[in-house]
Structure 1
């Protein structure tokens, strides 16, 4: 799922699953703790051989860094068999920020490479349970965020989007799968996985079954004609506990375990020990920010890996590993050679912090402006196409 670290981060931290250290999250530790597999050169090489496509720079640079059963997905593709993609968003703001774009950009690329259907879940019900948000407000944010997502470039011909508050009552098969999942997980198991306490509302306890249900194709008979189809879930690493539970349930339901591919997080402007947050306008670059706002935020708030003075920087060089402007370039600059040139010259002291920030502004500003132009064209009628319960291309 593409819900990034939010209120559920607290649950993960309580259980020691998301160890934050020095300059950010220890992703290698998470791989060991969760028991997933690192995306290595062998997998990337096989991916390129099977698909005939160069690996996305998110794969090449370790932005998507771990997986479960990705080799199985490649074997299905080699055999000419279809699977589907499933991802989502927990709407918590009127506009998404730059960090939210990362998984959706990768999902769009996966969909294009494999030519498979995509299901996107908007968990507006979750936000009502976890935050002080009314149902009406959550639904409005879900529809606004859906327009943000559509503007990534998804096609209604092979993409279905739904929000939980409206959809679940319209699809008996989805609810029936929720109940099947609920019967397979005890309260003690849910408490152990998610850290629920005695004061949590009961809606939180049942929510994992809602997030799990889209991982089974039988939840969408109008799309898959009740056929059993494998699923690949691109998601942020904090979602893995939900889908480890789902994979355990799958075995009991005699359904395919969903495969997963996990992303890192785009850090906040203040540094890699923070994350972009929809609730902090100075920590995030939002998709509706103006060019002036983007420039001001990067210049004023982007944590620098440079030295205290120009002279010291020229002598000792900067540290690109902690510099936020450089980190953003690793996400949004596709040119590997240019990125390496910037890294080398910054590390040597030839490139100053101000110069590096200027490059980041020059890359991110047009990216967002082009996105905003697409977003402006997403009408209510286009939105309705994606939400319509219908057959899509499978």
Structure 2
């Protein structure tokens, strides 16, 4: 089956990580995502510009047929909306052949927010239904290079964020979490793959892909090889021995440029191209036109927020698609396309029928903005309370179990 247009490196400078539309002015790259549209990024245009493939009903039906499980609600609702070579991974699984999962986190703040949970929730589902190994890269080196934080602080934040990731319920017998700063020096095979990748990509190409300038520090130029290396099973000999096992990467669409580069390099290294499944962006409380920021705690719900903070933030800051008065709202109804409380429910309310009823009631004006916000508050308060209970049980010993290089519960 066709999987969209695969751009070579020479084309990447044209499609580029920065997708800027003349009308909408959507900007999408690994470090910045912004739009002037109240309804958010135009994902149809993004798929076309990046040359990926839409997650359609056929693919979702195939997921269900191959796994024997109902597709995850994040897949059914188009939150994971785009892919590269997902059919190839499903073919592999049908044939009884192994694959592994790889995802990551750039630790730039003490606490993750609910938007960061999305890819980990979905990754855990993938790990459970396919019963496969998972590697999670903590790019503390990247955050030191791009942010105004020290190496030591970036490394500390990596382990704080790892607690939140572990609290999502990953199986320690099937999951390896690693900090770049701590792991790469321990694993010659990982570093060797980095160098192999570096040798395949010129400075001009990496400038074209990532937009690096003459004043950027040289660490940024070599970093893409570090994010690419976990795509290859040979980077983890203690897990995969010497087997060349294909990889599936659940990630935000903004991270795709790293893996377009990786997919171009893979055949030259005699290694399988990584497959990808892309997540849409999680909006800030103030709406799709506002950027979420760890320095502004009011732009999102953080995993450290109290029950009261969650309630206050949603009531005060969640952008409403409702009308100015109750009378107008009853008459004209609300706009779910811009209402942040409804948007958040599409991520976190698992019941399809209930979500559809809320959409109908809000659109008709029967459901008021305050009532919609109350629904979301209850769901997020429960989600975060459960998460905080799990996180409190993540001790230093538990972190060590996940981060120690070791054989997982699979034979290769």
> Which of the five TM-score ranges fits, normalised by the shorter chain?
over 0.9
Query: TM-score, with normalisation over the residues of structure 2?
Result: 0.92
C-alpha distance in 2 between matches for 1:109 and 1:221:
25
C-alpha distance in 1 between matches for 2:385 and 2:27:
37
- CA shift, 1:13, in A, is 5.4
Alignment partner of 1:88 is 2:104: yes
Alignment partner of 1:281 is 2:297: yes
* SS across alignment from 1:273: coil
Alignment partner of 1:260 is 2:298: no
**Aligned partner (choices 65, 84, 93) of residue 77 of structure 1:** 93
Cα pair 2:233 2:240 within 8 Å, conserved: yes
* SS across alignment from 1:25: coil
C-alpha distance in 2 between matches for 1:11 and 1:129:
19
C-alpha distance in 1 between matches for 2:279 and 2:106:
16
- Per mean C-alpha deviation after superposition, the further-off stretch among 369-378 and 20-29 is 20-29
C-alpha distance in 2 between matches for 1:47 and 1:136:
42
C-alpha distance in 1 between matches for 2:290 and 2:103:
24
- CA shift, 1:11, in A, is 6.5
Paired residues, number: 385
Q: How does 1:111-130 map to 2 (within 5 A)?
A: 111-130=127-146
Q: How does 1:292-331 map to 2 (within 5 A)?
A: 292-331=308-347
C-alpha distance in 2 between matches for 1:191 and 1:14:
17
* SS across alignment from 2:206: helix
Cα pair 1:14 1:195 within 8 Å, conserved: no
Alignment partner of 1:225 is 2:225: no
- Per mean C-alpha deviation after superposition, the further-off stretch among 10-19 and 265-274 is 10-19
Cα pair 1:12 1:238 within 8 Å, conserved: no
Corresponding residue number in structure 1 for 2:156: 140
Q: How does 1:82-231 map to 2 (within 5 A)?
A: 82-231=98-247
Cα pair 2:206 2:221 within 8 Å, conserved: yes
Corresponding residue number in structure 2 for 1:348: 364
Cα pair 2:105 2:138 within 8 Å, conserved: yes
- CA shift, 1:337, in A, is 0.4
C-alpha distance in 1 between matches for 2:214 and 2:57:
45
Taking structure 1 as reference, are residues 74 and 162 closer, same or farther at Cα in structure 2, changes over 3 Å only?
A: same
- CA shift, 1:254, in A, is 1.4
Corresponding residue number in structure 2 for 1:5: none
Corresponding residue number in structure 2 for 1:20: 35
Corresponding residue number in structure 2 for 1:43: 59
Corresponding residue number in structure 1 for 2:8: none
* SS across alignment from 1:81: coil
Corresponding residue number in structure 2 for 1:3: none
**Cα RMSD (Å):** 1.3
C-alpha distance in 2 between matches for 1:384 and 1:234:
24
Cα pair 1:25 1:273 within 8 Å, conserved: no
Cα pair 2:19 2:49 within 8 Å, conserved: no
* SS across alignment from 1:260: strand
- CA shift, 1:273, in A, is 2.0
- CA shift, 1:251, in A, is 1.4
Stretches of 4+ aligned residues off by more than 4 angstroms: 13-17
C-alpha distance in 2 between matches for 1:75 and 1:13:
32
- CA shift, 1:12, in A, is 2.7
C-alpha distance in 2 between matches for 1:141 and 1:298:
27
1:322-380 Cα offsets, whole Å, 9 max, x none, are: 10000010000000000000000000001000010001101111011011100000000
- CA shift, 1:17, in A, is 5.8
C-alpha distance in 2 between matches for 1:226 and 1:12:
37
Give the unaligned 5+ runs of structure 2: 1-15, 29-33
Q: How does 1:24-35 map to 2 (within 5 A)?
A: 24-35=40-51
* SS across alignment from 1:325: helix
- Per mean C-alpha deviation after superposition, the further-off stretch among 384-393 and 271-280 is 271-280
Q: How does 1:224-243 map to 2 (within 5 A)?
A: 224-243=240-259
Alignment partner of 1:58 is 2:70: no
